[in-house]
Structure 1
Amino acid sequence: MFDKTMTFSVNEDREAELKKNLTIIYDALTEKGYNPVNQIVGYILSEDPTFITTHNNARSLIRHIDRDELLQVLVRNYLNA
């Protein structure tokens, strides 16, 4: 059952939507005086939405982002792959 590697893929439209929403979340955290990178990492690691401010509907937006998709996009962009 676990002898084959599973594949995971996010299409370009979904990636653009993730980027748009993550930018809104980043900006909302910055506007409220938080370190946005630390807060987003805290959310990714814990899935605790209280790491994200409610300002500009950011907490609601983060709840609609699949963490697996987000991690895939972040790793791909970090590695420029």
Structure 2
Amino acid sequence: MTQNFGTTKLTPIRDDNRAAASILQHVFAALTAKGYDPVAQLTGFVLTGDPTYITSHDNARSMICRLERDEILEELVRSYFRVDPVQY
């Protein structure tokens, strides 16, 4: 007998598989250019959703606000495990 314990399955957004990666790279570069610790700043943004963690330099804040936080987290996990987005 199969039991369902209420697990939720997220379905990835397929519009542009590389958009999140490209935006994250751009934001990382902008944070670095302004002297911020990009890992700490991106972590703060993902945890809170507060856009003030991201510099407005080079339009980085505007760009990252186009993404949902779950898209950002999904891209970070995909990148960490080096998983091709087309696989799923």
Normalised TM-score (structure 1) = 0.83
1:76 is displaced (CA, Å) by 2.0
Partner of 2:51: 49
- Is structure 2 residue 12 aligned with structure 1 residue 9? yes
Distance 1:50 1:7 in 2: 27
**Greater Rg, structure 1 or structure 2?**
2
- 2:11 is aligned with what amino acid? F
Q: 1:78 aligns with which of 52, 77, 80?
A: 80
Give TM-score scaled by structure 2 length.
0.78
| Paired residue secondary structure (2:25) | helix
Taking only aligned residues, the RMSD between alpha carbons, in angstroms, comes to 1.8
Runs of 5+ in structure 2 lacking a partner?
A: 84-88
Task: Name the % identity.
Answer: 43
Number of residue pairs the alignment of both structures matches: 79
Change (3 A) 1:5 1:46: closer
